[in-house]
Amino acid sequence: MLTCALSTTPFRRVFAALVTSPEVSCAKTPGKTERLCYTDDYLFRKHLVACGGDNTMFAGAGMASRYVDRILRAQVYDVACESALTRAPRLSQRLNNQILLKREDEQTIFSFKLRGAYNKIYGLSAADRARGVIAASAGNHAQGVALAGHRLQIPATIVMPGTTPGIKVDNVRRLGGKVILHGDSYDQANQFAQQQATAQQLSFIHPFDDPAVIAGQGTIGAEIVRQHAEPIAAIFVPVGGGGLIAGIAAFIKQIRPEIKIIGVEPEDAPTLHQALAAGCPVRLDQVGLFADGVAVQQIGAETFRVAQELVDEVILVSTDQICAAIKAIFEDTRTVAEPAGALAVAGIQRYLVQHPLQDQTLIAILSGANINFERLRHVGERTEVGEQREALLAVEIPEQPGSFLRFCRALKAHNITEFNYRYADGQRAQVFCGVTLAPGENDAAHLAAELRTQGYTVVDMTDNEVARSHIRHMVGGTAPQVTDERIYRFTFPERPGALLRFLSGLSDRWNISLFHYRNHGAAYGRVLVGIQLPVQARAGFAAAMAEAGYDIADETENPAYRLFAQGGLSTGEHHASSATHS
């Protein structure tokens, strides 16, 4: 039974304990266990009988407990919902641990940011409310402030960089915010917003470095504690300016101190990571923009103070790992997380490589799902490498009929995701090749070594950023020395082994001088092939293709091929071509 030892504070009412933690090691008496309980007003620390029956209560001691109080009193549920904490079945099975997702994508603005913004604005005095609020943001905070202003009927101005995607600007306007487009970067917009706040006596709503904002975000921690009373090994939290992690850590470390709080940041925006290493907030010269929600150059002063004391660890993840996490979340939830929203799952995947835990419960904050549709192409492209499922190899093969086919056969069961080749000289050919690695075989170097034993010269490009982002799109160039070249576009139903069957169909009767194939996950594979076909061989080729049933188009006169892969257009053709396409 829980008893209260704080006799100096009279109870106004009997509190029902909202939460009771599982037994954990006793913080005061090594070797003993205790349970932690809290109510909506006070924090109780109850030592079990094993601890000597010494029921101790403490309230108000230290920074974290003051935040607990603020978090419990935070006003967020006028605009926010208590988001679900759902099991991710596929991820859990794959990672041998129970992975739970805190679904902040369920909020009306598809991110948690309305919690802090609303709590801050709600707490303003009547006079401040009447004058209005201003904020600078290119993303989720903007929507949170606009929504809060609208709900509380407070004029809200949001300064956004001129480069902000139209979809976000429209969203803020739709929520009733007045948008000012200013500058080219968040920093410029922020500076302008601060000037306007002073000049017009508006309340500046900081996106993270404000106790009221931190407390609003901390309500996520309170919900987790209510939603999952069983043991939790760690909560993974994406970090930008640090408001989210500070709020969650402040609550969790006071109520369930055994739970690890692990921050996750992109490798190219290690704001908290660097600050912890330096012992104080540091300003990064540049931050990567891929995970735009956390692209912050400097952690807040207050958020750093909290994080330094309460965060257990910060891990960094690459863009490709974030892309792989977006896919993993999609597979379990059919939700497309934004890059910052997927950071925590990427962090769990990385963490488990270094700490092989089993059967533990790990929670990821799925913090947002505001992604531009156009970005999905990039995400899809990088996912396979992020999952370590695609190897990129440069392979030298002999320049002779049939060697392509032999090379494909040497790849055995591996699925080819990309095949890029252009004739260069009469002896050897360089092929740029993407290959799906079989489950469990997560080592591109292993595959490269296997090919070398078969006599191929192989360079492993899997981790080569230039190859991945650029060279794969540039393989080729003109080859005026290739005679009688005809260019054909083929389509064939995409299924495992389809490319190998296609190449077998071409057999070794013709010399291939150009080849481009990229598997985009579409229903039909599309290949562009250059074949050396003297006039007398063309009829035989056409008949063989018709017999094989290929859908084929002759693109030899296509100006794109003529300009970039053959030898250029003549002046007259240039004119005709531009006339045709204008």
The least distance separating ligand PLP from the CB of residue 190, rounded to whole angstroms, comes to 13
Secondary structure percentages of the chain, helix, strand, coil, to 5: 40, 20, 35
Residue 44 CB, shortest distance to ligand PLP, in Å, is 29
Amino acid in position 514: L
The least CB distance from residue 124 to ligand PLP, in Å, is: 20
The span from the CA of 491 to the CA of 385, in Å, is 26
446, 447, 452, 458: CA torsion to nearest 10: -110
User: What CA–CA distance (Å, rounded) separates 446 from 204?
Assistant: 55
Task: Decide if 260 contacts 306 (C-beta within 8 A).
Answer: no
* Angle 301-307-313 from CA coordinates, rounded to 5°: 140
Instruction: Measure Cα distances from 47 to 1, 206, 317, 486 in Å.
Output: 11, 40, 40, 83
- CB 293, min distance to ligand PLP, A: 3
Q: Kindly state the helix (H) or strand (E) to which residue 429 belongs, with its residue range.
A: strand 428-436
Complex with ligand PLP: residue 293 or 434, whichever CB lies closer? 293
CB of 306 to ligand PLP, least distance (A): 11
CB 140, min distance to ligand PLP, A: 4
Is the CB of residue 33 less than 8 Å from the CB of residue 48?
A: yes
**Contacts of 248 by beta carbon, 8 Å cutoff, 6+ apart:** 217, 218, 220, 221, 224, 235, 237, 261, 365
DSSP for 503-530, please give it: HHHHTTTSEEEEEEEE--S-SEEEEEEE
259 vs 314, beta carbon nearer ligand PLP: 314
Give the residues lining the site for ligand PLP (CB under 6 A).
111, 113, 139-141, 208, 238-245, 293-294, 338, 340-341, 367-368
The total of other beta-carbon atoms located within 10 Å of residue 489's CB is 16
Q: List, in sequence order, every residue forming a beta bridge with 460; answer none if it has no partner.
A: 393
- Of residues 208 and 502, the one with the C-beta less far from ligand PLP: 208
d(CA 113, CA 140): 6
Closer of 213 and 498 to ligand PLP (Cβ) = 213
Cβ atoms within 10 A of the Cβ of 136, count?
Answer: 30
The residue nearest ligand PLP at its CB is: 368
Which residue number, 272 or 394, has a Cβ lying nearer to ligand PLP?
Answer: 272
Q: Nearest approach, Cβ of 164 to ligand PLP (angstroms)? A: 14
113 is known as an active-site residue: yes
- Active site (annotated) includes residue 21: no
Q: Which of residues 243 and 281 has its CB atom nearest to ligand PLP in the complex?
A: 243
Nearer to ligand PLP, 317 or 458 (CB): 317
Catalytic option among 113, 168, 253, 327: 113
Q: In angstroms, what CA-CA distances link 254 with 38, 47, 281, 527, 580?
A: 10, 15, 24, 60, 71
Catalytic residues, by residue number, are 113, 367
